[in-house]
A and B are shown apart, each in its own frame.
Chain A
Amino acid sequence: MPRIIVHIDMDAFFASIEVLDYPELRGKPVIVGGPAVRGVVSAASYEARAFGVHSAMPMGEALRRCPQAVVMPVRGGRYHDMSRHIMTLLAPHTPLLEQMSVDEAYLDLTHWLPAGATGASVAAEIQTTIARETGLGCSLGVATGKAIAKMASDLRKPRGLVVVPPGEEAAFLAPLEIGKLRGVGAATERKLRALGVHTIGDLARLPATRLGGQFGVVGPELLALAQGRDDSPVVPERQAKSIGRETTYWTDVTERAVLERTLLALTDDVAESLRRHDFLARGVTLKLRDDAFRTITRSTTLPEPSDVTEALYAAARALLTAARWHRPTRLIGVTAGPLQPAADRQFNLFAEDDDKKRKVAGAIDAIKARFGNDAITRARLAKKE
């Protein structure tokens, strides 16, 4: 039985929220990001994109291309709150809901279609519901696998809905530019084009031996995906064996302080997720990828199962130190796991500190839930203005 996977991606999420909150911006090129001189673009409205502005672009460059753009500061908490609201709208459709980021999620509808419904009809219903309940647009892809559904959702933005019927995956992918394939960034794209691979179809026809070792462990994955084979499961965090967050840098990072700061922010997010789902992590895994796609993972067991940032971060940071990692870093990630139910918490004779941290973390979670994600943050993660 072919799977029915839906990928939902909010359209210009941050910029659209700004337009929603400040209706006078409607129809204007809006850039979210900053600060003006040295900052980067976090998001751009479709009006701004028409001028060639895109996310990750230096702000100076963006304003040269589109001097009339309205620049709005990033309001992470507001976006986070909206994201939560959207997830509650998705949740009734299937228990197999995996949130990928603040504006992206997968739904596995294979065994959860209402009578008479199809993947396409549910996707259309989701699009309508979100527009009605939030005023925001989104694009959806329906396919038999996650990566293909994601590429489908990306195809007709904004407010697109693209269905790839079972069996037509390879045909759907074949004409697409190679850069659209999941896992193919700028560097990989250059290398593939050098091999004469310009479309996904070109890659699908490429003998595996031609790929050689230059794409590392991701090589065979790329090939399988290009041929339409995509069976990675939708894993809701509630029954996950691990909870992780990772981020790819716009430009490769070598500075240890930057890596640590990212790691802390990611770990903070992981810890919050652990607490929200009532899990304790028994271990931590650190993932690093360099500019040549070499990926390493390092794992450790925590002295005590934990759901507080401090304990998880200390372990993750120790892994970073022990890894003796000095290469330009493209991606950094942290995963907590294996997990155990928080109800099985074993109290510690000497850990009053930990209990205090847990109480503080609980209080912070409550403040965030009530006043939004930006109401409170770690001093080390606070933006320096």
Chain B
Amino acid sequence: MKFTCPKRVFHEALQSVSRAVASRSTLPILGNVLLDARGGQLRLVTTDLEIGMTSNLPLDGVIEEGAVTVPERILQDVVGNLPDAELTVSSDERNLLTVSSAKSQYTIHGLPAEEFPVLPQVADANKLSVPGPVLRDLVRKTIFASSADESRVFLTGCLLTWDGQTATMVATDTHRLAVKRVPATGKFAQAVSVIIPARALTELLRLLGSTEEPVDVCVGDSQVLFALGRVRLVSRLIEGQFPAFERVIPAETLKRLTANRQHLYDAVRRASIVARAESNKIKLHFEDATLTIDAEGEVGRAHEEVLISLDGELGEIAFNATYLQDVLAVLDTETVELGLTGPLNPGLVKAEGEADYQYVVMPMQML
């Protein structure tokens, strides 16, 4: 294998796939990146067997076709620290990779390309096409509600359903639940309902950045593939039954509090500083135009007042501050609505004018 490529282009391509490299693995080759130069392009592949990433870099400078794998972190470090110039990259039959620029030459020990795992092919019978910003919204407004509890692995991801018209993403840790719906069309074969690992979606968000480009999402039986520009992210799906989430969303709430999102967020975040660490409990009392937030812990006490408009009777309820803070941080509207019924009933958070988003949060014991 031999090709030439500007340092910056090569470095960017390496960075785009670096997140799927296994950091600690019993299989050393999973710490490597596969470089495969052929047919006018360089393909870079990484995988930790849970997720995999591919970047296809069009290249004029393929001099000799071939492939090799080398430790990704080392290669990225070397390339990243070279001066900005044209690089020549080549490998030999002993799997030695040589990177050279005008005055530098590095040789890195690699492993044969044949030993690198082949990423699974994902059928495209079900293929949604979603604008980048829409997909980003779908993920970031739900993923934070997923669980980190590995004993209930089906909650450590987000449920994606698609009926050909609407894509819905849902996440819950059983204390709170976030649901976002967006219009999505594409190649539709049958109703889709899969659980995507939160880890894969975190990487997706990173790849999405602020892209405006459309993203193709292929949903297979046991894998999902996201294709954005030159980069592809493939992830295994989580097996298991996602809880029946529809019935825990309150159809109606008796009391509705409307508040400035930023003011409410700031008050909740400050109050949580003194709340007892394990429970993070804050107490809300609302009456007329005032919401008071009180918290108490070993370190001291907090009292906050937030201006609200209240539709319904006065009342009180206790929440884990984190559960409110998380949702208030991802919403982007100026005002938010908190719908409540009683101190034991779930609360319903909505962003003003964003009917396709719902966040349900269970209260804590009030006493």
Contact = CB atoms under 8 A, between A and B. Distances in A.
Contacts of B344: 347
Interface string A183-213: 0000000000000000000000000000000
Nearest to B249: A349
Interface in A278-295: 282
A322 to B, nearest CB: 12
B364 A345 contact: yes
B281 A347 contact: no
A365 to B, nearest CB: 18
Given A303-B152, A349-B172, A340 B364 contact: no
A351 B344 CA distance: 13
A346 B152 contact: no
A351 B363 CA distance: 13
- The B contact surface, by secondary structure, is loop
Contacts of B6: none
Contacts of B346: 349
Contact of B365 (A282, A342, A348, A349): A342
A385 interface: no
Interface string A297-322: 00000011000000000000000000
Contact of A344 (B149, B172, B176, B365): B365
Contacts of A350: 174, 243, 248
A343 interface: yes
Contacts, number: 48
A191 B149 CA distance: 46
A348 B175 contact: yes
Contacts of A342: 365
B151 A343 contact: no
B177 interface: yes
Interface in B147-174: 149, 151-152, 172, 174
Nearest to B367: A343
Given A303-B151, A350-B248, A344 B364 contact: yes
Interface in A347-363: 347-351
B362 interface: yes
Nearest to B345: A347
Contacts of B149: 303
Given A303-B149, A303-B152, A346 B367 contact: no
A347 B347 CA distance: 11
Given A303-B149, A303-B151, A303-B152, A346 B175 contact: yes
Given A303-B151, A303-B152, A346 B279 contact: yes
Contacts of A341: 279
A344 B279 contact: yes
B301 to A, nearest CB: 16
Contacts of A340: 278-279
Interface residues of B, number: 23
A229 B172 CA distance: 52
B177 A349 contact: yes
Contacts of A345: 364-365
Q: Of B172, B360, B362, B363, which is in contact with the most chain A CB atoms at under 10 Å from its CB?
A: B362
A288 to B, nearest CB: 22
Contacts of B258: none
Contacts of A347: 175, 344, 362-365
A342 B364 CA distance: 10
B151 A346 contact: no
Contacts of A344: 276, 278-279, 281, 364-365
Contacts of B152: 303
Interface string B163-202: 0000000001011110000000000000000000000000
Contacts of A348: 174-175, 362
B276 A346 contact: no
B320 interface: yes
A349 B281 contact: no
B352 to A, nearest CB: 24
B145 to A, nearest CB: 11
Contacts of B278: 282, 340, 344
Interface in A32-84: none
Given A303-B151, A340-B279, A346 B320 contact: yes
A349 B363 CA distance: 9
Given A340-B278, A343-B365, A344-B365, A349 B175 contact: yes
A305 to B, nearest CB: 9
B7 to A, nearest CB: 48
A65 B357 CA distance: 79
A349 B360 contact: yes
A346 B176 CA distance: 10
Nearest to A345: B365
A341 B175 CA distance: 18
A379 to B, nearest CB: 28
B187 to A, nearest CB: 34
6 contacts: A303-B151, A340-B279, A341-B279, A344-B279, A347-B364, A350-B243
Given A303-B152, A340-B278, 9 more contacts: A303-B151, A343-B365, A346-B279, A346-B362, A348-B175, A349-B177, A349-B243, A349-B248, A349-B360
A-B interface, 4 closest residue pairs, ranked by CB to CB distance from nearest: A344-B279, A345-B365, A347-B362, A349-B248
